[in-house]
Structures are given as structure tokens and as C-alpha cells.
A and B are shown apart, each in its own frame.
Chain A
Amino acid sequence: MTEITTAISPANAAARYRLASLRKYLVLCLLLAAALLVLLADIATGPAWYGLDDVLKTVLMPVDAQPQMRVVIWSIRMPSALMAVVVGMALATAGVQMQTVLNNPLASPFTLGISSAASFGAALALAFGLSFIPVAGEYIVAVNAFIMALGSALVIHSVGLRRGSSVQTIVLLGIALVFSFNTALAIVQYFANDQAVAAIVFWTMGSLTKATWPKLAVTLAVLVLTIPVFVYRRWQLTALRLGEARAASFGIPVRRLRLETLVLISLLSSIPVAFVGTIGFVGLVAPHIARMLVGEDQRHLLPASALIGALIMSSSSTAAKVLVPGAVLPIGVITAVIGLPIFFYLILKGGRETW
């Protein structure tokens, strides 16, 4: 073969790779621009409509803005609009890493029961004030949601480690967890008082209306703490998609990487659930769209998923305010309406094999 080799040019494989990488960075720039534009549109939309230029001026130079507009934008609209972005990024990041470490295209916090577990934990706090560990005030809901999410992620992890455990096993386990926690949630609702039931029902449909700057800061902190870990592990996480044996053959500590990632996924998926309720399909659909656009390399896939997650959430938030004049629809309903057809399209169209 060596004598044949000399006659064969590498066909500029490296040059083509560099060009392809450049294209992917261009896609990321376009996604960022789109996400910023839709964020502005989200802030501009509401009972009073503002022009995008006015919104931009108020956001960038609040001192020069009209007082009323400044209050509306800075105190009411920006927390929820930014919460949409941060939650979208968190759920999409959780989804893409869940699909990666479980090697499962149907994995997401929503489909595998982690969101349901978080919902149940949060409902216990909302309905009965129960707390798994004693913490102050409104963060009981967040802590309960995280502990339940972590518990279910660990169950999925331990089943995934069993010899002979397949992609189907994990999906079936996820379905079982969703049913179990939904049943548990129904029992909580049965015993809760009317006020608590109303709060739980409203919250299970997802809503950004209760977003505040402190809640946004906590959710952003979770994102800021977890994303750098994924960035640091980008090569290892990408290699994991080649299969467990191959990743291990590269010297990657597969089990530790999986466990570490699942703990971070629990954090990423439970905190948004605790603050804005159950929001489905973002964590499932965003990574698939990102994968189709930029491939599997986490250097591109991670930011692309996060930006698409933000884009879906901001679009949904905007749509929630304009679809029914005078009312704000639950955002979880909108993400499901947007996400489901896209997901069906992804399944049925196929196109280039991306899984």
C-alpha cells in the first residue's frame, strides 16, 4: 500500500476541513444575529408595541429613555425576555448533552422524565411547602426540582450502565418515569388546596410572566457555571458520539464523564423548570436542528444548540403575546406547538443521516 500511497494526493482534506469549519462559524454568527433580533422583537411586543429602534435605545441608554418606557422595558419585559433566552439556552444545552452521553436521539430532559421529576419536586413545595433540604423562601421550589431531577438522571444513568441496556431501554425507562411522576403530580394536585392546584396547573404549562431579575440571575449563574465545563470537555463529549468503546480507547474516562455531565444536565434542566414551569421540546428539537446545521463537533454544536434554544424560546415568547390579543398564552404550549411539527419533520424527512 505504501507504494500506492505516494501516488494519491490527500485531496486537500485539511483545506476542505478548514473551509467547512469556517462555514460553521458563519452559521453561528447568523444564529447569534437572529437570536438578538428576535430578543428585541420579544421586548418590543406586549400590550403596548414599541419600535425596535426605541427598544434598542432604551436597552442601551436607559437614562435617555422615556421614564414610562424605561420602566416597562427594564422592569417588566426584559426579565421575562432574557429569561426566555437563558431558559432556551439551558434546556437546549441540557438536551444536546443528554443525547450525547446517553447516545440517544430521543433523549431530552422532557422526554426522559427529568422535567417531570423536577415538576413533581417543585409541586411538593408549591402545594405543601415540603422541602427536601431546609432552604430559604422561594428557592425551596428550585432546590426540590433539582434534587428530583438529579435523582431521575441518576436512575437513567445506572440503567444505562447495565450490560445489554439499549437505546430503547432508556427511552422506555424515560416513558415510565414520565408516567410515574405525572401520576405522582396528579396525587399531589388531588390533595392540594384549590389555590395550590391553580398554581401548579398554570406552572406545568410554563410561563415567563413570573420572571424576575433575581430568578434570571440564578438561572444565568447555572448556565455560566455549567457551559465552561462542557466547553472544556468538548473533544471528549464529541468523541463519546463515536461509541463508548472507541471513546474509552482514546483514553476518555467514559463513566466519569457521563456521570459528571448528567449532574450538570440535572442542574440545567431543573432550575428553569423551577422558575418558569415545564417547557417541552426545546431540549429535544434544538440539538437536532443544530446538528443538521453544524454537525456533531461540540465546538460548533454546543453554541448552535444554545442559540437555537434561545431563538425558539424568544420566538415562542413573542408568539405567546401576539396570538391572542390581550392575553399571554402559556409558553410551554407554544413551544410544544412549534416544536412538535419540527420534530415530526426531522423524523420523517431524515435527509442526511445525522444520528
Chain B
Amino acid sequence: MVVLSTEALGAIYGSRPVLTNVSLPPCHGGEIVALIGANAAGKSTLLRRIAGILPGAGHCRLAGVDDRETAIAYMPQDQVSGAALTVFEAVLLARKQTSGWRLADADLHEVEQALAALQIADLGSEYVSELSGGQRQLVALAQCVVRAPTVLLLDEPTSALDLHRQFDVMRHVRSLAKEKGLLVIIAVHDLNLAMKFADKIAILAHGTLHAFGPVTQVLTPANLEAAFRVKSRLETCSQGQLHLIVDDAV
């Protein structure tokens, strides 16, 4: 099983430190870890540091994988560009970058499956540039899934999706985690979505790790006030589920 932890991760843009000394405790395959925090708290930067595409201080340790490079799939926050690529081509690109001229049936099959799983198989021949923001986000997610990773890093994958699609995508991500043993680290702004689907939550504030642990232990009014400067409360609804209610900004 894959185990990921970080040791004093840091990053600097220009002369401005944006991530300082972030040490995530071990996160295991099969778990969904939600990264939450205010704007510019360092969520995207932390994901980029873990993905290995941003240099900086500290280490990211990954145990239980053979090849680190192929083990991690990262979905950036920016959406797939308006290049003249069809959805099928864009997803195939993520699957296959360096080898052979001919395409193996297995590669095409994997792309088909990834598109079908996200319910965008009918968009295969459409140009990415002609899709809506939400559809592009699903294409971006398919690009990650098709690489068959063991660690999935998602930067706000549901920000452009409607409510129904948000739940569809999160359920799919959860099934990937549970059935295939993937470790999913996901940056989200919707705290109720994080609460519903995540196993653990990491709260980032001002580029540092403010809190980390199981949802009910970390998602407290005190932590949320420190991270988001809001007055909030957690209440159990008539169906017995915990919901976060934000009353006011501090």
C-alpha cells in the first residue's frame, strides 16, 4: 500500500515564501485527504511540491511504489487549454507520451474506460476548446485517471461543476480510492463536500499546516476561525449527517 508523508516542505515565489515547513503525517492508500484553507493559503503550491513539479525545501516521501514519476497523477487548477485536440486525443495524451508510433488497443481501451467512467464518452470527438468549463474539468480528471496512478493529486476538481456532477465526481474519486487503493489528496473550497467525502483533513493557513487529522477532530469552529476568519458551527441534520453552517465573517 502506498504511504505518503512530507517533511518540512517549503516553496518560494520570487522572494516571497508561500509554503513553509509543511510536514504531513503519513497518508495511506485508500484514503481521501482534503486540503482546505483560505485563498493563497498554499494548497495548490503544496500539491505542486508533492507532484514534484515545483522546486523547494524539504522532502516528500513515498513508500510502496516502484516508479515515483508514474505513481503520481496531478490535476492542476487551470483547465485544459483551447488547443485543437479532441477530448479523446487530450486524454490519450496523458496516457501515452513517449513511446511507439502505433497506438495499442490497450491504450485506446483505457481512454474509453476513463471517459465512460466520468460519463463523457459521448464527448470523445468534440474539441476540448468547445466544451464548457465543467466538461473541461471532467476531461482533466480523466487525464489523471487514465494514467492509473497510485497517488491522485486534485486541485479543486469540482470548482466548475454543477451540484449533481460534484457528487458524481466525488463518488467516483471515493470508489477509486476504496477499490484501487489510491491515495487521493484533494484541494477543495466546499467544506461540506470535504466533510462528506474525505477521511482526513489538512488545514493550511498562511503557507503552514495549521491542523491535520480525521474530519470530526479537525473541522472545528476554532480551526475554521483561524484558517478562514469565519464564525461557524457544526450541526447534525435530521438525517444524522454533520453539516457546517457559517454564520458570519469575523
Which A residues contact B (CB, under 8 angstroms)?
Answer: 1-2, 4-5, 8-11, 13-14, 16-18, 20, 103, 163, 235-236, 238-239, 241-243, 245-246, 248-252, 291-292, 295-297, 299, 352-355
Q: Is B233 an interface residue (CB 8 A)?
A: no
- CB-defined interface of B163-188 with A at 8 Å, one 1/0 digit per residue? 00000110110010000000000000
Q: A235-B98, A249-B51, A250-B94 are in contact. Are A5 and B88 (CB under 8 A)?
A: no
Mark out the residues of chain B between 96 and 141 whose CB falls within 8 Å of any chain A CB in the assembled complex: 96-98, 101, 105, 108-109, 111-113, 115-119, 121-122, 124-125, 127, 129-130, 140
24 example contacts (A-B, Cβ-Cβ < 8 A) are as follows A1-B118, A1-B119, A5-B117, A10-B115, A10-B116, A13-B112, A13-B121, A13-B124, A14-B105, A17-B108, A17-B111, A17-B125, A103-B81, A235-B97, A242-B83, A245-B76, A245-B78, A250-B93, A251-B69, A295-B86, A296-B85, A297-B85, A353-B129, A355-B82
A122, B143: Cα distance in complex, Å? 46
* Residues 71 to 85 of chain B near chain A (Cβ within 8 Å): 73-76, 78, 80-85
A residues near B83, Cβ cutoff 8 Å: 241-242, 296, 355
A243-B81 CB under 8 A given contacts A14-B112, A163-B14, A249-B73: yes
Look across to chain B and name the residue whose beta carbon is closest to the beta carbon of A290.
B84
Chain B hits for A292, CB < 8 A? 84
Given A1-B168, A241-B81, A295-B89, A163 and B124 contact (CB-CB distance below 8 Å): no
Assess the A249–B109 pair: CB atoms within 8 A. Answer: no
Please state if A2 and B53 are interface contacts (CB–CB under 8 Å). no
What separation, in Å, do the CA atoms of A296 and B69 have in the docked complex? Answer: 26
CA distance A352 to B90 in the complex (A): 17
Decide if B98 touches A10 in the complex (CB within 8 Å). Answer: no
Complex contacts, B119 vs chain A, CB 8 Å:
1, 4-5, 8
Q: Which residues on the A side are within 8 Å of B113 (C-beta)?
A: 10
B198 within 8 A of A: no
- Report the separation of the CA atoms of residues A5 and B115 in the bound assembly, to the nearest whole angstrom: 10
What is the distance, in angstroms, from B103's C-beta to the closest C-beta of chain A? 8
C-alpha spacing A251/B97, complex, angstroms: 9
Q: Which of A1, A14, A20 contacts B175 (CB 8 A)?
A: A1
A243 surroundings in chain B (CB, below 8 A): 76, 78, 80-81
**Interface bin, chain B:** 35 or more
Residues on B with C-beta less than 8 A from A8 are: 116, 119, 121
- C-alpha spacing A243/B94, complex, angstroms: 12
Determine the distance from Cα of A343 to Cα of B76 in the docked complex, in whole angstroms.
33
Interface centre among B97, B111, B125 (most CB of A within 10 A): B97
Question: Complex formed: what's the CA distance from A109 to B97 in Å?
Answer: 27
Residues of A with C-beta under 8 A to B151: none
Are B172 and A235 touching (Cβ within 8 A)? no
Q: Is B92 close to A, CB under 8 A?
A: yes
**Chain B window 37-81, contacts with chain A (Cβ cutoff 8 Å), 1 for yes, 0 for no:** 000000000001001010000000000000001100111101011
Among B70, B84, B122, find the residue whose CB has the most chain A CB atoms closer than 10 A: B84
Across the interface, which residues of A come within 8 angstroms of B108, CB to CB?
Answer: 14, 17-18
CA–CA, A243 and B48, complex, Å: 15
Assess the B74–A249 pair: CB atoms within 8 A.
yes
Beyond A5-B117, A243-B76, A353-B127, whether A16 also contacts B82 by CB under 8 A is no
